[in-house]
Amino acid sequence: MITALDIRDYTGSSLLRFLHHNRIRVEHLYCDSAAVKSVTYEHYRGKVGWAAIDRFVKGQRGSLLCRSDIELPEGYKRFESSALSRRMCENAALYLLRASAIADTKVALIDRAGECFDLCEHLTEFADPVYVVTEAADLYSEYAEYLLAEKGAALRVSKSGNCLHDADLIVSPEGISFDMGCQPTAVVLSGEKPAVHQSAPVIYDYCFDLAKKYRDLKPEHLGEMYFASALYSMSRASELGSELFTRCGDGTVIHTRRSLTEFLKKRMISR
């Protein structure tokens, strides 16, 4: 079960504040495999009673859905997961290559841990070779032999990031924690906000239209994509992993599917 917590501070007159007692409201909502416990704590005395809250959330202390501005005490942790965002990154990359249909696109995949073999295989349908930057070079070398023998697809596997310097499309479902040295016009897709500034904008923020059945389930104080991430990670709503972005961005510029496709085409023309 997903547990969502909202803390509301009384903002009315100071006189009325002392006439009320803090209170907790709990609501249970269900849809398919998803179950949500929504806990709302209303306080009037300027102090949050965490002992009272703990009676309703103690089983989910380590993964509470709440606003980022709520200060949680020791032993509590706000739910965070990049699993859905990483999947959206993968879906965006495959859509972009399919929609642009440009030959000779140099595609590079960053997969340090060797976890994206399925994605890599799909990328070979649009680019030959696909360049892979990984710490799991031995695993990828074996996989490269398999792809070449079974599908005639070529991989170029390396631990260094030299192949990123002139790549047209860089796909990194995991967060980027080093300077890639890529071209400023490269299209970079990631599943997380980069830890290091890059010469090219890194698209990492993806949005899609959440199905009505899940919107009806969502507590009003939570953002749609944050809630969708919890559904995907904690409630076996695996169908969300097949969603395609309607909008995506790098923290500054927002793209639609069409504008992102044109972004890659512009890169290919200018190289």
Q: Calculate the alpha carbon distances from 148 to 44, 95, 123, 155 in Å.
A: 67, 24, 14, 8
Closest CA to 240 of 218, 205, 219, 209: 209
DSSP letters along 100-161, please? H--TT--EEEE-TTS--HHHHHHHTTT-SSEEEE-S-HHHHHHHHHHHHHHH---EEEESS-
Q: Tens-digit pLDDT profile for the chain (271 aa)?
A: 899 999 987 665 555 555 566 789 999 999 988 999 999 998 876 678 899 899 999 889 999 999 999 999 999 999 999 999 999 999 999 999 999 988 899 999 999 999 999 999 999 999 999 999 999 999 999 999 999 999 999 999 999 999 999 999 999 999 999 999 999 999 999 999 999 999 999 999 999 999 999 999 999 999 999 999 999 999 989 999 999 999 999 999 999 999 999 999 988 887 6
Q: Is the Cβ–Cβ distance between 130 and 107 less than 8 Å?
A: yes
pLDDT score of 33: 83
Report the domain count for the chain: 2
Closest CA to 268 of 105, 95, 94: 105
> Do residues 108 and 26 both lie within one domain?
no
Domain annotation covers residue 9: yes
> Do residues 128 and 183 both lie within one domain?
yes
pLDDT score of 42: 86
> Do residues 190 and 89 both lie within one domain?
yes
pLDDT score of 23: 83
Enclosing domain of residue 17: 2-63
> Do residues 39 and 107 both lie within one domain?
no
Instruction: State residue 17 phi and psi, 5-degree precision.
Output: -55, -40
pLDDT score of 146: 94
> Do residues 22 and 119 both lie within one domain?
no
pTM over 0.95: no
> Do residues 54 and 91 both lie within one domain?
no
Closest CA to 198 of 158, 156, 247, 250: 250
> Do residues 116 and 22 both lie within one domain?
no
> Do residues 24 and 54 both lie within one domain?
yes
Domain annotation covers residue 251: yes
Reported as a single tens digit per residue, the pLDDT across 66-108 is 999 999 999 999 999 999 999 999 999 999 999 998 889 999 9
> Do residues 51 and 112 both lie within one domain?
no
> Do residues 266 and 163 both lie within one domain?
yes
Specify the CATH number for the domain of residue 129.
3.40.50
Q: CB 130: neighbour CB atoms within 10 A? A: 26
pLDDT score of 37: 96
Q: Is the Cβ–Cβ distance between 39 and 3 less than 8 Å?
A: yes
pLDDT score of 226: 98
> Do residues 90 and 51 both lie within one domain?
no
Domain annotation covers residue 139: yes
Can you tell me the distance from the alpha carbon of 57 to that of 64, in angstroms, rounded to the nearest whole number? 8
Domain annotation covers residue 201: yes
Q: Calculate the alpha carbon distances from 53 to 7, 25, 61, 76, 80 in Å.
A: 10, 10, 10, 11, 20
pLDDT score of 267: 83
Which residues fall within 8 angstroms of residue 15, CB to CB, at 6 or more apart?
A: none
> Do residues 113 and 167 both lie within one domain?
yes
Which residues fall within 8 angstroms of residue 110, CB to CB, at 6 or more apart?
A: 133, 134, 161, 164, 170, 171, 172, 174, 176
pLDDT score of 22: 76
